C-alpha cells in the first residue's frame, strides 16, 4: 500500500465517520492537500532545534481591566 493509498483510505473513512459527503474527485483533492501538508510537516520534523532556538515565552494575557459603566468605558477613574 502506498502512502497516497493509505491517505485516501484515511480521508474516505474519516469523511464517512463524520457524515461528510465526498465524491471521488473531492476525496482525491483532500488527499492531495493532506499529502502536501504531511510533506511540509516532515521537513519541519527533520530540522533539529537547540534549546536556544525556542521562540519567546508562552503567551500570558495581561490582567483584566475592571469595567464600571457608571464611570468610564475603559475602567479608568
The pTM score is 0.60
- Identify the pLDDT of residue 1: 47
Copy the grid coordinates of residue 60. 500570558
- Identify the pLDDT of residue 2: 59
Burial (CB count within 10 angstroms: exposed 0-12, middle 13-18, buried 19+), residue 11: buried
**Any idea where the domains of the chain sit in the sequence?**
1-77
Copy the grid coordinates of residue 37. 501538508
Q: Please, what is the end-to-end C-alpha distance for the chain in angstroms?
A: 69
Q: From first to last of the 77 residues of the chain, give the pLDDT tens digit.
A: 458 899 999 999 999 999 999 999 999 999 999 999 999 999 989 988 887 777 777 777 777 777 666 766 554 55
Amino acid at each position: 500500500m502506498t502512502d497516497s493509498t493509505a491517505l485516501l483510505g484515511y480521508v474516505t473513512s474519516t469523511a464517512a465517520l463524520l457524515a461528510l459527503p465526498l465524491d471521488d474527485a473531492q476525496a482525491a483533492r483532500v488527499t492531495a492537500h493532506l499529502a502536501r501538508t504531511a510533506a511540509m510537516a516532515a521537513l519541519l520534523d527533520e530540522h533539529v532545534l537547540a534549546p536556544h532556538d525556542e521562540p519567546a515565552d508562552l503567551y500570558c494575557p495581561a490582567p483584566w481591566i475592571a469595567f464600571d459603566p457608571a464611570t468610564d468605558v475603559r475602567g479608568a477613574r
